[in-house]
Chains A and B, each alone.
Chain A
Amino acid sequence: MWLADALVVVAVLVITVSVYGLFRMPDVYTQLHAASKGVFLGEIGIICAAPLVADEAAITSRGVLIAVFLILTTPVSAHVVARAARMSREPMRTPGAIDESVGTGSADGALDGRLEGLLPGESRDPRGAGRES
């Protein structure tokens, strides 16, 4: 059926663009767009081609299971990776990136946009180590 053909071709194209985006993006935080949204869209495209082609109902039901699981867990893994990168002070190399997660550092906002501010959960204790260049 031509619809299944078109779905598979478009899904493979989307996955190609996402893998290329993983290479081209300058930053973990922008690579997350490619890895979580793009590949997931391609996956759903291929799984949607399953009911049109499969002879057995077992394939379609398992495809639905995979799709539901991916819908539930792809945002969670993306968020966890972003949070881990932020908590390990991964620099934002995207030109023009503004770090809006720097919170309770100073009152006049002098620490906004720079990575030396406090992360959520830290406190301003006088520690010897910690300020990275």
Chain B
Amino acid sequence: MHATVYAFASAWLTVLLGVTVVAVIRARSAPTRILALDMLVLVFIALLVLLSLRQNAPYLMDAALVLALLSFVATLAAARYHAVGRLFS
């Protein structure tokens, strides 16, 4: 892959990361904030995959996998807490 495509895509994904942080802060209700946090972690996973392809390092993909797992569980927990008021019934 060309180095310019790597550089441009990584820089633009970092900008999108900042934009999603603004979306998390600006969210007007709790489900929107939960959704924006999930999207934040997904954008970060995309950035990590791109970086691991550039540096040829598999450990960044490990970090991306762990983040995907954590974001899924956190979205479930936050949504359940917002809906029901407790996590374990």
Contact = CB atoms under 8 A, between A and B. Distances in A.
Contacts of A115: none
Contacts of A49: 1, 53
Contacts of A43: 42, 45-46, 49
Interface in B28-67: 29-32, 34-36, 38-39, 42-43, 45-46, 49-50, 52-53, 56-58, 61-62, 64-65
Contacts of A5: 1-2, 5
Instruction: Tell me the dominant secondary structure on chain B's binding face.
Output: helix
Contact of B53 (A15, A28, A53): A53
A46 B35 contact: no
Interface stretch (A75-83, A104-112, A122-130): A75-83
Interface in B71-89: 72, 75-76, 79-80, 82-84
Interface of A: 1, 4-5, 8-9, 11-12, 15-16, 18-19, 22-23, 28, 31-32, 34-35, 39-40, 42-43, 46-47, 49-50, 53-56, 58-59, 62-63, 65-66, 69-70, 73, 76-77, 80-81, 83-85, 87-88, 90
The 9 A-B pairs with the shortest beta carbon distances in the complex, nearest first, are: A62-B61, A84-B79, A84-B83, A85-B31, A58-B58, A77-B75, A87-B83, A73-B72, A35-B39
Interface of B: 1-2, 5, 9, 12-13, 16, 19-20, 23, 29-32, 34-36, 38-39, 42-43, 45-46, 49-50, 52-53, 56-58, 61-62, 64-65, 68-69, 72, 75-76, 79-80, 82-84
